A and B are shown apart, each in its own frame.
Chain A
Amino acid sequence: MHALTHTATATEPAVTRGETTKLGRAIVVTSGKGGVGKTTTTANLGTALAQRGARVALVDADIGLRNLDILLGLENRVQYHVLDVLDENASLDDALVADKHSDGLYLLAAAQSREKEEVDTEKMRALVASLRERFDYVIIDSPAGIEKGFKNAVAGAQEAIVVCTPEVSAVRDVDRVVGLLGNRFRPQLVINRVRPQLVKKGTMLSVEDVDAFLRLPLLGVIADEPQIIVTTNRGEPLALSRDGQTANAYHAIAARIAGEDVPAPRVEMPKPTLFERLFRGGRA
Chain B
Amino acid sequence: MIEFLRRFLSAASPSASTAKERLRLVLMTDHLALGPEIVDAMKRDLVDVISRHVEVDREKIEVTFERQDRAIALLANIPILSVRRPEPPAPPAPPAVRPRRKRSRRRRTTASAAEPAAAT
Residues of A within 8 A of B (CB): 167-168, 171-172, 175-176, 179, 199, 201-206, 209, 213, 215, 275
Question: How big is chain B's contact interface, by range?
Answer: 10 to 19
11 interchain pairs, CB-CB under 8 A: A168-B22, A168-B26, A172-B27, A179-B31, A201-B14, A202-B11, A202-B16, A204-B16, A205-B16, A209-B16, A213-B27
The number of residue pairs between A and B whose CB atoms lie closer than 8 Å in the complex comes to 44
CB distance from B9 to the nearest CB of A (A): 12
Interface centre among A168, A176, A215, A275 (most CB of B within 10 A): A168
Q: Say yes or no for B69: interface residue by CB 8 A criterion.
A: yes
Chain B positions 88-116 with a Cβ under 8 Å from a chain A Cβ: none
Given A168-B22, A168-B23, A213-B23, check contact A176 B16 (CB 8 Å): no
Complex: how many Å from CA A202 to CA B23? 15
Instruction: Name B's interface SS.
Output: helix
Residue B60 at the A interface, CB < 8 A?
no
Q: Please name all residues of chain B whose beta carbon is closer than 8 Å to the beta carbon of A205 when the two chains form the complex.
A: 16, 19-20, 23
Contact B19 A167 (CB under 8 A): yes
Q: Which residues of B contact A167 (CB under 8 A)?
A: 19
Contact (Cβ within 8 A) B23 A176: no
Which residues of B (1-54) have their CB < 8 Å from a CB of A?
Answer: 4, 7, 10-11, 14-17, 19-20, 22-24, 26-27, 30-31
Q: Which of A175, A179, A203 contacts B16 (CB 8 A)?
A: A203
Instruction: Tell whether, in the assembled complex, residue A202 and residue B30 are in contact, meaning their CB atoms are under 8 Å apart.
Output: no
Do A206 and B16 touch (CB < 8 A)? yes
Complex Cα spacing A179 to B19, Å = 21
* Chain B residues with CB under 8 A of A213: 23-24, 27
Of the residues B17, B31, B69, contact of A202 by C-beta under 8 Å? B17
Taking the closest CB of chain B, its distance from the CB of A194, in whole angstroms, is 12
Assembled-state Cα–Cα distance A172/B8 (Å): 31
Q: Which residues of A are found within 8 Å of B14, using beta-carbon distances?
A: 201-203
Write out the residue numbers on chain A whose beta carbons fall within 8 Å of the beta carbon of B15. Answer: 202-203
Bound together, the chains give a CA A199 to CA B15 distance in angstroms of 10
